[in-house]
Structure 1
Amino acid sequence: MNDEDDASLFAEEVAGIKQLEKNEVYLRKKGPQVDFQVRQTAALIVKEADKNHLSQDYVEKVEPNDVLGYKRSGVQEGVFKRLRQGKYGIEARLDLHRHTVAQARDQVYQFADDCLRNDIRVAIIVHGKGDRTPDPANQAMIKSYINKWLRDLDTVMAFHSAQKHHGGLGAVYVLFKKSEKVRLENWEQHQKR
């Protein structure tokens, strides 16, 4: 087809169509006026209400007997080794047994926030191995999400599967970053030396 054929086909298709006047254009039936200010305020309230950015989308599945481990750059190898070995005192604990993914998401987000606000450096999250679930496709679901969520939280510096006496592969040690208050105290303490 050439340009002339295209033009004639178009002319045939639009033949008989009359142009609407400006006041005749309707996108939909007229109804009550929408108050966009109310909509904007409602959207801001919802946005503030759910500051939780942890994903509920698909995550890479881990197996019930997989070891979880992660450390951000800047975490010293010796610190990570002590965390892995369970040599730090556990200051807080979160148990996620019998929680749905949505409940666990909310709990983990709030727990991380609480730990930072209360200057907690090392905590343990008990997620279970998920090996007792009858459906193999849903095994280790919470464990898989924990593996993703902890990486996504800026307050988490490192985590590793726990030692057997702390829950083994059904729990993780979590190292949180120092709060600004603790950072300042440490800086001041080192300046006095």
Structure 2
Amino acid sequence: MGKNDRDPDDSELFRQAIGPVRELPAAAPPPQKPKPKARAAMAERDETEALSEFRRAMARDDLESGDALSYRRDEVPPRVLQRLRRGLYAAQDELDLHDSDAQAAEGLLREFLLQARHAGFGCVRVIHGKGLNSGSAVPVLKNLVDRVLRQRADVLAFHSAPPAQGGTGAVLVLLAKR
């Protein structure tokens, strides 16, 4: 006998045997571990990498008063840096940072580079001094100039000036064209 072959009275007999039925209230779902808050994993990773890069840049050895500043972007040929080191590029403008504190010097340097680029200058000289009278173990302005110049996209290369143009107390900066 199949399911459909049952006598309709069977289901009625079952209901009578059971009695009145009431529906149970819906049970609350079992407690679950709370879901973690959504977070921007890529942004956190980028922030971590940027902070790590910043710490590496700040932790690198400070320049001493006699050390030469030197830097060139990868797209700049090495011979350009050699010519800059020899002073073969004429500085079209000059900024003297002597007697400036670090905060003022940074502002002056950024403004000077901006104006030099707008004027279309290709090479400028920044005099930072050797730091012999700075009152600290390291030349503050020299290290500041080195850090700022490395961060700027408009600076193609820089090198300490030849002795006749200020030596390790000045730097020649090659700027990108506007």
TM-score grouping bracket, smaller chain normalisation = 0.5 to 0.7
Give the direction of change, closer, same or farther, for the CA distance of 1:150–1:59 in structure 2 (3 Å limit). farther
Aligned residues: 121
After TM superposition, list the pairs within 5 Å mapping 1:14-93 onto structure 2: 60=60, 61-93=62-94
Aligned to 1:154: 153
User: What's the CA shift string for 1:67-113, capped at 9, x where partnerless?
Assistant: 11000011112211111110011101000000001111101110111
**Are the counterparts in 2 of residues 59 and 148 from structure 1 also a CA contact under 8 Å?**
no
Instruction: Name the amino acid aligned to 1:165.
Output: A
CA–CA separation in structure 1 for the residues paired with 2:134 and 2:143? 14
Aligned to 2:167: 168
CA–CA separation in structure 2 for the residues paired with 1:133 and 1:149? 19
Moved over 3 A (4+): 57-60
CA–CA separation in structure 2 for the residues paired with 1:59 and 1:95? 27
Give the direction of change, closer, same or farther, for the CA distance of 1:95–1:118 in structure 2 (3 Å limit). same
Q: How far did 1:134 drift?
A: 3.7
After TM superposition, list the pairs within 5 Å mapping 1:125-140 onto structure 2: 125-136=126-137, 139-140=138-139
Identity %: 32
CA–CA separation in structure 2 for the residues paired with 1:106 and 1:59? 23
**Are the counterparts in 2 of residues 59 and 145 from structure 1 also a CA contact under 8 Å?**
no
SS class of match (1:114): helix
**Are the counterparts in 1 of residues 157 and 174 from structure 2 also a CA contact under 8 Å?**
yes
Give the direction of change, closer, same or farther, for the CA distance of 1:127–1:59 in structure 2 (3 Å limit). farther
Instruction: Name the amino acid aligned to 2:153.
Output: D
CA–CA separation in structure 1 for the residues paired with 2:149 and 2:162? 18
Runs of 5+ in structure 1 lacking a partner?
1-56, 180-193
**Are the counterparts in 1 of residues 134 and 140 from structure 2 also a CA contact under 8 Å?**
no
CA–CA separation in structure 1 for the residues paired with 2:148 and 2:122? 18
Give the direction of change, closer, same or farther, for the CA distance of 1:104–1:59 in structure 2 (3 Å limit). farther
Give the direction of change, closer, same or farther, for the CA distance of 1:123–1:113 in structure 2 (3 Å limit). same
Between structure 1 and structure 2, the one with the greater Rg is 2
CA–CA separation in structure 2 for the residues paired with 1:114 and 1:59? 31
Give the direction of change, closer, same or farther, for the CA distance of 1:157–1:132 in structure 2 (3 Å limit). same
**Are the counterparts in 2 of residues 127 and 171 from structure 1 also a CA contact under 8 Å?**
yes
Aligned to 2:140: 141
Instruction: Name the amino acid aligned to 1:74.
Output: E
Give the direction of change, closer, same or farther, for the CA distance of 1:150–1:166 in structure 2 (3 Å limit). same
Instruction: Name the amino acid aligned to 2:152.
Output: L
Q: How far did 1:59 drift?
A: 6.7
Aligned to 2:121: 120
TM-score, scaled to structure 2: 0.65
- How large is the RMSD of aligned CA atoms in angstroms? 1.6
